[in-house]
Structure 1
Amino acid sequence: MDTPPLSGSESESDDSLVTDRELQDAFSRGLLKPGLNVVLEGPKKAVNDVNGLKQCLAEFKRDLEWVERLDVTLGPVPEIGGSEAPTPQNKDQKAVDPEDDFQREMNFYRQAQAAVLAVLPRLHQLKVPTKRPTDYFAEMAKSDLQMQKIRQKLQTKQAAMEKSEKAKQLRALRKYGKKVQTEVLQKRQQEKAHMMSAIKKYQKGFSDKLDFLEGDQKPLAQGKKAGAKGQQMKKGPSAKRRYKNQKFGFGGKKKGSKWNTRESYDDVSSFRAKTAHGRGLKRPGKKGSNVSEPRCLGEEQAQPPRPTSNPPLSLLFCSSSPSGRRQVAV
């Protein structure tokens, strides 16, 4: 027989009954106090029971010899490049980075190597064999194939890290190159705008300077440096030159000694009117014999030129007429 569903008031009464029962149980146990319904339990306190711990340790502790235990506590051997042994003082300085796989694995290897170097002589003293028989077969915990996979994985990871670092450097260089290129382009645009403004001023007559035709001008700082160097050079000759002048003497200024001066221009003592303007001694003979006869271009190659002191006055062209006479054209 199906029971009818409970109404809202009945369900609330059931909840209240359960709550009242819980309160009665808490009151009977003495958990209720004036002003509180339920006393909350605080966090448990950790008890350091030293005697109990020692008693538990004594129950399973066995005083066995070292051969049965084979336990050693050692640090890693010194690195190949370093001669200092690991000590508690420098332990923190040479802490191993757990994120570096190579460093972590190498630290394990060095620690195992230190344990082997310390234990082998002790086992030999106790006459415990440390080498396997020739016919003994035992597989390692990790096979060579597994170790080879681990090695390849570590190498791949290291190569990826190096590649990532190189990519970061290349990106930084590209950013720097783009920055430099942008600065150069901006500088060129500024120079071009300055030149165009100077040209417009010159065309309109506002300026009579033609400095923009000299090309790229050096920066002000470089100009100052160059000017300072020029001033240093103009102060006088170098120390080497002064030493040579003191030792051998100064022979006088040589540079510009053949330049025209006012005195040399006014000096006409070496002027000869007879030989001036190519008027030298003429060849004796008929008057006007020095004047060359007009010839045609074709005849000029056939006949050898006559010696004359004066150059030909003009170039003549010849042509033959129907009557057989030659016509000369200047």
Structure 2
Amino acid sequence: MIIDSSAMESAEEESLLGQESEDENSELSDNELQEAFAKGLLKPGMNVLVDEPKKFVNNVEGLKQCLADLRKDLPWVERLDMTNLPAEDVIFKVEGKPPNVNNADVNADDDFQREMFFYRQAQATVLDALPLLNKHGISTKRPDDYFAEMAKSDQQMQKIRKKLMSKQVMLEKSEKAKKLRDQRKFGKKVQVEVIQKRQKEKKAMMTAVKKYQKGMTDKLDFLDGDQKKAKEPSQVPNKAGNKKGPNAKRKYKDQRFGFGGKKSGKKWNTKESHNDVSSFRAKVANAKGGKKGAKGGKQNKRPGKSVRKKIKSRS
């Protein structure tokens, strides 16, 4: 790329000449103003802005003409306009106060009172408009098969639905994980309590066994375990309740396996069994078998002490 140095110099000279001409014009204008001020032609306060009063035009006839042009004689079904006083105030009626209907009685600065006035007025309008709508055959309820046109496409709604479903799934997973964590914490707590209880019971059992071994006590109640706790009076309400009969578990077992009969006192002697000697055998009772058996029988005698020592030394 070739740059013309002469063209650049000419452009700089023109810009310098333009600045000098502007300075000369500004100086001339200042000199003219100074001369006019010296001659007394310019004085402070001569140029003052004066605001003219605004003229308000109240053309009543013109406004009435515009209103007549806008007004059209249409049936009420086409206009659907209602002008109603507010409905009866239930609170005032319960308290026995006169109804507050006049608009001047409503405080505009009181938000609650103002909103309640609007609500009562809308309520009165609805009560008056529903009979008129039914009279003209206009339905006031949406049909069951009514489908409104959606502002968004079905694809966009499907995306939104998928996003909402994914959020719901994530929330369910987080809730499930939270419940699992709580259950694990509770399970660990219960497990620790059970282990501590077992260790405590084991320690108490070992202490009781040591006391029994040392002869400090001759009671073996600690061997009963849970049976002793079940026999405590705190868990048994009264003795009369125990005499009613066997529990449901015992009845079910008796019904399924049968009743075996009385077990305690089964081997006790009676008068008849004491007098009955038919099953007595002398050979069995004395284990001798008579004199012949005594002579011919072998007698296993224990060797003496010295013989036993010799046998041990040989082995």
Q: TM-score, normalised by structure 2?
A: 0.35
TM-score normalized by the length of structure 1: 0.34
Q: Greater helix share, 1 or 2?
A: 2
Q: Which has the higher contact order (CA 8 A, sep 6+)?
A: 2
Larger radius of gyration: 2
